[in-house]
Chains A and B, each alone.
Chain A
């Protein structure tokens, strides 16, 4: 096995990318529209003798299995969809506080409540603002194609190890379900037990030859210890903000109107930009790829440009990322919003119409 070109469903490509990244364990619970991930892994598992896949009794359980397995030194992933992601929040908070690297994918569906199984971007707040209790962050990638799902998932395991924190792949029901051509990266050989011990000297994998025991905990009951832990986390987050911001701009250099959109919405917005350009309208796109750390600098630069008239934020929710855009723009330019919910994806024409109405 090496690099391979395939025509794959987003969810299956995500699973395949994780296997190729040397994932050693997956724990998950079926939920539409991401169930193909665990189905694919159960089918492929026999080919990977060092890989373990387990269907948990709930998302509450699967995220805590991830906590145990990742603390023990494995390269571990779970996937879910929005209601399941809500259930995982407590566990994610523990994992973040204990500095445990792992990968989580949320193939979003519409809410609130049981909502709909149709695609949505309703979990921006939950993904970017913390979600669970306490002050913590996840590095959040918002792919907008099956290829990007593959690339970000494949790299997420090493990035999680680098920063000792959970990485979130924030996809949605449409990207999860659609089929596209993908280039699958070369498989990373599974690590031996010794390599795992060397790579993660902090892991709770038995004292072995260590002189001191390892303890994984998120409990810091003394006030000064808890504040110290918070300060350490915040310091790490500032470093991540300095190094890991990723974004894409599209026909934005001379734009007078800037669309901000991520994930699935950004693809439709690209088409809206193309149509606008054909009509001679100077519209461009700023697309955050990492939702946290947020691409503050680039949005700030556009907000300062005299020729930029306004921003139009487009999401598949009722306005979540717009809060971060507004924080950066800070009143210098108007920031308008257009979003659809219930699994309805705005068309390029619809978005353009909304922009024209503000011109």
Chain B
């Protein structure tokens, strides 16, 4: 660094210097970076084990320089359960999309949370199946057009978008549950604090920590990256309100 300059930002060493496969404007890359920043700042990069899902983030292990296991579609929470039960002193996290966590893996998600498994779940909700090319997700909004809801999601036929953070927060095993978003710098900073909180509460063995990250999908929403920010603000966040849904540490402080 040049003399006289103060370091205000650097790429975390835990984020590998590889070109990412994500589409331009996708929030995945931001979330990868935030998690790796927190891991590095907490000094847990030599202990932590990540679990990647099937979906757009299936290759998350190509970007994060920590031990990683790739799970079958929907089974990240089962795999993480196995890891954490074997290595209870290691921080463990899953990184899952809406199809993985809320559709095919709903049982694993709910039961891991209900058992209070001591790992962190980072749940990316972009209301669509990205990798397979834009099909309806459990979290697709009412009326939203996807390739399998070409006339808009009709809840009478295919059910309503699932509010996972609200559902999960009902389970006694969950120690911390929040919904964040990455649609502007202020929210990105908040999300980073919440990621750190998840790892801290995990280290205290208080229960499952669950962070729903409202995300975007420029490619399959058929919107420019900038316009996805409007869609997030005007549509996604109306149905998926941000905020802490549960925090056992806050209750303790009272």
Question: Which A residues form the contact surface with B (CB < 8 A)?
Answer: 24-25, 27, 52, 54, 56-58, 60-62, 64-74, 76, 90-91, 94, 204-209, 213-219
Contact = CB atoms under 8 A, between A and B. Distances in A.
A206 B43 CA distance: 12
B69 A217 contact: yes
A209 B45 CA distance: 11
Nearest to A212: B65
Contact of B82 (A58, A69, A205, A219): A69
Given A66-B82, A74-B82, A74-B86, 10 more contacts: A57-B108, A68-B71, A68-B86, A71-B79, A72-B83, A91-B72, A207-B45, A207-B67, A213-B61, A213-B67
Interface string B33-77: 000000000000111110100000011010001111111100100
Given A206-B87, A207-B66, A60 B75 contact: yes
B32 interface: no
B13 to A, nearest CB: 12
B41 to A, nearest CB: 16
Given A24-B86, A61-B75, A215-B70, A68 B47 contact: no
Contacts of B49: 72, 204-206
**Which of A27, A62, A213, A214 is packed against the most chain B CB atoms within 10 Å?**
A213
Contacts of A204: 49, 67-69, 83
Contacts of B72: 64, 67, 90-91, 94
**Which of B67, B87, B111 is packed against the most chain A CB atoms within 10 Å?**
B67
Interface residues of B, number: 31
B66 A68 contact: no
Given A205-B49, A207-B45, A54 B81 contact: yes
A149 to B, nearest CB: 24
A218 B108 contact: no
Contact of B71 (A52, A64, A206, A207): A64
**Which of B48, B71, B72, B79 is packed against the most chain A CB atoms within 10 Å?**
B79
B90 A70 contact: no
Contact of B70 (A52, A207, A217): A217
A212 B76 CA distance: 23
Contact of B68 (A67, A70, A74, A216): A216
B68 A25 contact: no
A99 B65 CA distance: 22
Contacts of A217: 61, 68-70
Contacts of B82: 25, 27, 64-72, 74, 76
B68 A65 contact: no
A61 B108 contact: yes
B43 to A, nearest CB: 12
Contacts of B71: 64, 67-68
B193 interface: no
B107 interface: yes
Contacts of B80: 68
A213 B14 CA distance: 11
B187 to A, nearest CB: 30
A65 B61 contact: no
Nearest to B48: A206
A213 B65 contact: yes
Contact of B107 (A61, A67, A72): A61
A93 to B, nearest CB: 9
Contacts of A69: 82-83, 85-86
Contact of A216 (B46, B70, B87, B107): B70
B78 interface: yes
Contacts of A65: 78-79, 81-82, 85
